[in-house]
Amino acid sequence: MSHNNPGHKDENSVSVEDGPCIDVLSDVLRAIRLYASSYYCVDFSSPWGIDEPQADCGIFHAVIRGSAWLTIPEQNDPIFLSAGDIIAFPTGTPHQISEQPDSRTISGRDLLEMIRHNTNPYSDGQSVVTLLCGYFQYRKQTCLPLLRDMPSMLHVKSGDAPKLDWLNSLVKTLAYESRILQPGSEVMVDRLTEVLIIQLLRWQMRNQSSTPGYLQALADDRLSRALSLIHKQPSKPWTVEALGRAVSMSRTAFANHFQATVGMTPLAYLSQWRMHIAYELLTESTESMLSIAEQVGYKSEASFGKAFKKIIGTSPGQVRKMR
């Protein structure tokens, strides 16, 4: 099958250049502009409880000491969290985390404001738990499958140790930095929290490999290689046959495997990634429309504009005016 973009050569002319693979997860995380930070790491005395409503960002909690119960409206049974457990909600799912499933709670937003003003409503007695809580956010306007396939919840259990010793060490370091006032601590906390979120996504890739989706594709040797080629050379006139050949698969086997895992065809993914690059260039550079079109594999402004509007929903000219 030949590529449907004007001016492209026949698929047999496409060569795969040797070279290191692109780290696709890093590429996508840069694309969505992941940012993360920790709200606080504090001790709570009994009884305590936090009610987190639906959020427009991701939320995470790490139980540093003690234990807690997690209640999610869409699940009937509460989940017990022990020291070392990490729970994350990439899509901001509403939830409650508390001493007991029926403990009274305070709004997470109200609690954060109190703690920021040096007031801890759960400090009247002997502390029973230490919690590290924070958030992570990313640009949601992009049409990338990682955002589509973000799990609603991640639960890393302390019982998975010793495989997760490295993660436990990271959390302990983050908890320590969150509680001290040292030069550079704020930046340190932000960067460590971002590392934590990336490690959680890595954990998801390794441990949920049976669930179709973008993270499974990144964990698949052949699909991740194909994605790497697309990210490394987005302007190439890629075809399904050329990508399949590059990862030692037949055209049909590769197309079926990609579609079943990623949820779209290889060329649909190629088009989405190209348009993401184009969107960035349109909003953040002064390059000409033709130059941008050529960088994402199109030989004319007309063919580029048509493809861009089909995927993004608006014309390149309108996006450029948004700068």
For the segment 53-95, what is each residue's pLDDT rounded down to a tens digit?
A: 999 999 999 999 999 999 998 888 999 999 999 999 999 999 9
pLDDT confidence bin for 148, thresholds 50/70/90? confident
Mean pLDDT, rounded, for 86-113: 96
The percent of residues above 70 in pLDDT, for the chain, comes to 91
pTM assigned to the model = 0.83
pLDDT over 80 (residue 3): no
Using one digit for the tens of pLDDT, what is the confidence trace for 229-257?
A: 999 999 999 999 999 999 999 999 999 99
pLDDT for 141? 63
pLDDT over 70 (residue 1): no
Using one digit for the tens of pLDDT, what is the confidence trace for 158-173?
A: 877 566 788 889 999 9
Three-state secondary structure of the chain? CCCCCCCCCCHHHCCCCCCCCCCHHHHHHHHHCCEEEEEEEEEEECCCEEEECCCCCEEEEEEEECEEEEECCCCCCCEEEECCCEEEECCCCCEEEECCCCCCCEEHHHHHHHHHCCCCCCCCCCEEEEEEEEEEECCCCCCCHHHHCCCCCEEECHHHCCCCHHHHHHHHHHHHHHHCCCCCHHHHHHHHHHHHHHHHHHHHHHHCCCCCCHHHHHHCHHHHHHHHHHHHCCCCCCCHHHHHHHCCCCHHHHHHHHHHHHCCCHHHHHHHHHHHHHHHHHHHCCCCHHHHHHHCCCCCHHHHHHHHHHHHCCCHHHHHHCC
pLDDT over 70 (residue 267): yes
Mean pLDDT, rounded, for 91-109: 96
Using one digit for the tens of pLDDT, what is the confidence trace for 8-29?
A: 444 444 444 444 456 899 999 9
